[in-house]
Amino acid sequence: MSGAMQDWTMRVTAVLDHAAREAGQREIVTRWADGSETRTNWIGIRRDALKMAQALIALGVKEGDRVASLAMNHSRHLVSWYGVAGMGGVLHTINPRLFDDQLEYIANHAEDRVLIYDAAFQSIVDRMKPLWPSIEHYICFDNGEFEAWIGQQDGDFEWVEGSERDPCMLCYTSGTTGNPKGVLYEHRSTVLHAIAGLQPSAFNFSPSSVMLPVVPMFHAASWGLPYSGAMAGIKFVFSAVNDPAILDELMKREGVTDSAGVPTVWLAHFQYCDAQGIDLPALKAATIGGSAAPKFMIERLMKNGTRVQHAWGMTETSPIGTVGGPTWDWEHLSFDEKVAKTAMQGRPVFGVELRIVDLDDMSTALPRNGTTSGALQIRGPWVIKRYFKAEQDATTADGWFDTGDVAIIHPDGTLQLTDRTKDVIKSGGEWISSVELENAAVGHPSVAEAACIGMYHPKWDERPVLFVVKKEGAALSASDVIDHLKPLIAKWWLPDAIEFVDDIPHTATGKISKKDLRERFSDYRLAE
């Protein structure tokens, strides 16, 4: 016997239809790179997306074809998310900060046919064009070009229908090892993920929410915000430039209540407001993810009345895995306890399951006791099954995807990331968390940044070495750092050496690149 409810195909175009129908007048504001501003609304986004779908078909783009974007956050980029999906295409959002060899690799691997780009990235386009043979059409988002292109169409169009398992978006991981790998999101996975983002324990949107996403639209689908926000019918404020002065002015003038970004974004914002002697914007909620949010950041935002939603996820998980909204016992926790809890990576939203397994024997699941750490695995309808064009599944036989992260799970479900499997340091058969060492080190007022890697040691296999960037003008010695660390970590975790460096290498998504750091110090030898 089957159930007796209606068929309803989960396509992302239904999300935009809903926004235009139910929250049509809600504004979408863009501050462009040239300083100008435009205002449209969900009805306008839908009208333009319909025209764009027609314009792509007129170019000869077929269902399943990849259309690439090389762009920051703005309303035209938002139009293209829905316009491409609306004609059955796949939007491939390219990260403009990738290195040339990665840019070359991913556009060719994706076999992109069209590229739509910001004028700010004209030099990338000029440089890469000869290396991108599959791209037949280049369209600039700026200088009136995009508007003129879609303006040739009348918008009298019905979204292309198809299976909810059809792909709608392609994102490549930045590839800290080997070539970048493509993650092909489906209409269904995207819609389910966006609904999950609406949970009060996740983005907690209401119709009065005004969101300025600082997380770029090319970074793991901007964490699904352009879909969740459309479902909730919120107002969006976009800035095509990531400058704290511009973001601050926009947040205050446009009544922004919510924002989302990686920790460095908040750091830059603090520095800007401190230098100007002005208040931080009065946000209701800030989602922080992509890297661990340091305690002082959480503390400062919370003291400013902002709810901090510390989230963990990855491109392979669409990306929401866990989010750290308030827990049931929130009212009973002290301020310090709230900060400590928020510094962990939150709890799974409905739809994903997490488990930790033994690092040496991945078939053994470990307890969620708040102390045991293991390799973190995840499964759920918006978690990757297979990389784009890969021959084999990326999951275990029983459907778990191995995240490459090392974590502890607490009895209340809170996830606490302790390291990456590649970075955890094995000393005398015991594990040392490089991330915990780094977090402890950056708590020193003279430390700007710290990165810890395991170096070969003849007796212990590996021992931690901590690379430290001092704050400008700070006087800091290796023994100052060790004295600071002593009360914070186990004695046998203390680094064997502290090395002061001018800078620490970063990946295209702003994370510390330990691969590059290891390469830079490949001749480094620890004294025995």
DSSP character at residue 39: E
* Cα 26 to Cα 411: distance, rounded to the nearest angstrom: 41
Rg of the chain (C-alpha set): 23
420 touches ligand ADP (CB under 6 A): yes
403 touches ligand ADP (CB under 6 A): yes
Strands (E), 222-363: 235-239, 258-261, 285-288, 307-313, 320-324, 347-348, 353-357
Q: For the chain, what's the residue count?
A: 528
Q: Which residue has the tokens 């400008």?
A: 472
- 8 in active site: no
- The stretch among 46-54, 101-109, 117-125, 503-511 that binds ligand ADP (CB under 6 A) is 503-511
Phi, psi of 367 (to 5 degrees): -70, 155
| Residue among 96, 290, 380, 495 that touches ligand ADP (CB under 6 A) | 290
85 touches ligand ADP (CB under 6 A): no
Name which of 30 and 418 has its Cβ closer to ligand ADP.
418
| Residue among 69, 257, 509, 513 that touches ligand ADP (CB under 6 A) | 509
Can you say how many angstroms the Cα of residue 274 is from the centroid of all Cα atoms in its chain? Answer: 26
- 9 in active site: no
* Cα 53 to Cα 46: distance, rounded to the nearest angstrom: 10
Q: Which residue has the tokens 């046919």?
A: 113
SS3 284: coil
- 235 in active site: no
| Residue among 314, 407, 424, 451 that touches ligand ADP (CB under 6 A) | 314
| Residue among 38, 134, 291, 304 that touches ligand ADP (CB under 6 A) | 291
Q: Closest separation between CB of residue 94 and ligand ADP, Å?
A: 12
- The stretch among 193-201, 253-261, 331-339, 504-512 that binds ligand ADP (CB under 6 A) is 504-512
Catalytic residue, candidates 173, 322, 327, 414: 173
Phi, psi of 79 (to 5 degrees): -55, -40
- Determine which helix (DSSP H) or strand (DSSP E) holds 14, and give its type and residue range: helix 12-22
- 426 in active site: yes
Q: Which residue has the tokens 């510094």?
A: 343
Q: Closest separation between CB of residue 173 and ligand ADP, Å?
A: 5
Name which of 83 and 182 has its Cβ closer to ligand ADP.
182
| Residue among 153, 345, 373, 427 that touches ligand ADP (CB under 6 A) | 345
Q: Closest separation between CB of residue 35 and ligand ADP, Å?
A: 30
Do the strands 90-93 and 66-70 form a parallel or antiparallel pair, or are they unpaired? parallel
Site string for ligand ADP, 239-278 (x = CB under 6 A): ----------------------------------------
Kindly report the number of other CB atoms within 10 A of residue 340's CB atom. 13
Which chain residues interact with ligand ADP by CB under 6 A? 173-174, 176, 220, 289-292, 310-315, 345, 403-405, 417, 420, 507, 509, 511
List residues with catalytic annotation.
Answer: 173, 316, 426, 431
